[in-house]
Structure 1
């Protein structure tokens, strides 16, 4: 990769403030040459150094960035180099004072000295720590990190220093002893992958579900923990593509799991799930693995009937609110009513019901929701029990008619 190494010398008074151009001698060093057994020329070229905005037209709606442009007699079109904005500001401020003829003693200049290795090295983007003895205790993690793995270090909690890594895209804290996740993980706005495999987690914070992770998190591995359930709000993480929940103690899946419309890979093998939520049939997956759960036998002819005849005013209002997509929230309705509306069930006829419904457990062939299905049991089955709801006797009767026709 090419880097602007140094400006050999300024020539006269040729700094032009309006166009941000500097006539000078420039040496450009290719740091990859030594790996091929080659040397740089070690000689500067007469050039014009310009500073300006650059639009990358290959990226739609891309905002301009500041670049350095080096033009020589042989290359009048020039080569562009992306500039660090903060360093450039300091450089230009000092250069401007010198251009105005300020006394040297009044210009905030330090004595020339060799640079430190860290100043010329490429910012570190990846760090992998797999031993407790290698864990940094007296130094901070590099702020430039985009990938951080800390495994087998017996961490009991997430190190708060990790939460200042604003460029972090993948955080792997697998194989530790973490019991709880801090809400401030949700401040990592670039985080797209979070791996928490083989820890001691018992809950997943509701706060994380409403954080910036809603827009960034695509891969989440919570396998081999101690989770019994996930909050209803978990389904607000709608950018999720890959979700791993294997080897926990889950008794149920998030009620609104069908809202994870981008989910393509889902596994919850070896849990204690008795059945799947009704919303599960809304998913469109590439791969699903539900092997080794305690699935109950379906009983479509043994319904749980909780019909209210006539319906209560609350039931009518709740159904109308969902049917007509009326906005609601704690600023409009009492909190307990909002929670009820969040738990509204959906009949097979797609109409909502709240407290007046008929509930049955039926079999769902998982091929209806996924292209590839890992066998549910050792018998080669690909069906799993799923909760179904009916908003009226009419809907349930129509279901029974179809059920009897299939089983004749």
Structure 2
């Protein structure tokens, strides 16, 4: 059992509303402990819950036995709970506690309040708290030189923001993946070459900055991690050596900002339009020649495609071919991609995975592979975003767009009106 926990706490006096008095203030970092007063080591000694804060290191004591009216623990898995006392008529509202420690602490508190035997548990002496016990845990850390890097001591366990730059880090320190509360990780200006799948341990990660490293390849399985798909909102991969963005990147449901400037990209994934929440996209100084049609589906607020290798398209160019019924393999592949069924080399042969990755998106929204025709047109950058940068120093504002037509019906519609499906 845990005799002592640290958390954020707010005390609510239940008598104040009846006196028409509103409570002000905010929660503060607190140490809670269960024990007996000093020199009360006998079995009959009265148990207390002591609350220590930076303002009150000596602590406020609440008698436990027959004095706990109710414990509200509906959100205990989020580190939240409320302890209601009879005398005084106050509620202790706890948050930001370790869920497991909080469960153990409340279990002990319930037993003590009911007068159950807890003699086998070594209770703490209710002495004033030390500075270490009540200091607010460190949530931000910035390391900007190798000499300041913590080699002999661990990272603070409560970190939410971690910035490590100019430390010549080649592999991401495994200790970083133990920081369960980490939301913002900035590893810019290092020499990181690979991204490990242990990112799955950072369940609260929302922003990842890897600007100015030596990354060449992005593992596709990274973008299928549940925490990345559901949580990641900012991804900065600028100033690396990346040649390809995996199609799985388009599964990041909450991605708002994507920066891939100064890489070696030749194109975007054909399903990039699935990034429904993407608002800020920067891909300047790459080798992009054309944009995929699904780019039109993005609802961007800012777009920067300066200094790429966009080809000149003076008029729409439609490939002509005789249509044949799609193969059985293509029919199956279309259904897998349409229904967004997950796949990996653990399930399918490697060449089938590569085949599925090569899917093209028709302007009708369907997927196609060999059974399609190609069309090339040009569009103004204002079509994609209200705030844009020119693609070259001459102020060019048009870019080539490549689309594929999956059936004779789509081909006929395109011939009648090339802009039928453009938003």
User: TM-score interval w.r.t. the shorter chain?
Assistant: 0.7 to 0.9
CA distance in 2, matches of 1:250, 1:114: 60
Question: 1:296, CA displacement in angstroms?
Answer: 0.6
1:373 is paired with a residue whose SS is coil
Residue of structure 2 equivalent to 1:256: 271
Contact kept, 8 Å, 1:315 with 1:355, in 2: the verdict is: no
Contact kept, 8 Å, 1:127 with 1:145, in 2: the verdict is: yes
Gaps of 5+ in 1: 16-21, 34-39
- Structure 1's 321 and 80: CA in aligned 2 closer, same or farther, altered over 3 A? closer
Counterparts of 1:136-175 in structure 2, within 5 Å, are: 136-175=150-189
CA distance in 1, matches of 2:122, 2:47: 23
> Structure 1, residues 79-137: CA drift from partner, whole Å, max 9, x if none?
4344655267369659969966787xx65467888766433322222111112111101
Residue of structure 2 equivalent to 1:377: 392
Residue of structure 2 equivalent to 1:37: none
Residue of structure 1 equivalent to 2:212: 198
Does residue 80 of the first structure (1) align with residue 99 of the second (2)?
A: no
RMSD between aligned residues: 4.2
Question: 1:388, CA displacement in angstroms?
Answer: 1.6
Instruction: Return 273-282 or 44-53, whichever deviates more.
Output: 44-53
Question: 1:317, CA displacement in angstroms?
Answer: 3.0
Question: 1:261, CA displacement in angstroms?
Answer: 1.6
Does residue 294 of the first structure (1) align with residue 309 of the second (2)?
A: yes
Q: Which has the higher relative contact order, 1 or 2, with Cα contacts under 8 A spaced 6 or more apart? A: 2
- Structure 1's 238 and 90: CA in aligned 2 closer, same or farther, altered over 3 A? closer
Contact kept, 8 Å, 2:216 with 2:242, in 1: the verdict is: yes
1:273 is paired with a residue whose SS is coil
Does residue 355 of the first structure (1) align with residue 374 of the second (2)?
A: no
- Structure 1's 329 and 162: CA in aligned 2 closer, same or farther, altered over 3 A? closer
Instruction: Return 386-395 or 261-270, whichever deviates more.
Output: 386-395
1:370 is paired with a residue whose SS is coil
Question: 1:392, CA displacement in angstroms?
Answer: 5.2
Q: How many residues were matched structurally?
A: 381
CA distance in 2, matches of 1:390, 1:63: 49
1:249 is paired with a residue whose SS is coil
- Equivalent of residue 367 in structure 1, options 382, 388, 403: 382
Does residue 214 of the first structure (1) align with residue 219 of the second (2)?
A: no
- Equivalent of residue 253 in structure 2, options 238, 245, 259: 238
TM-score, reference length from structure 2: 0.74
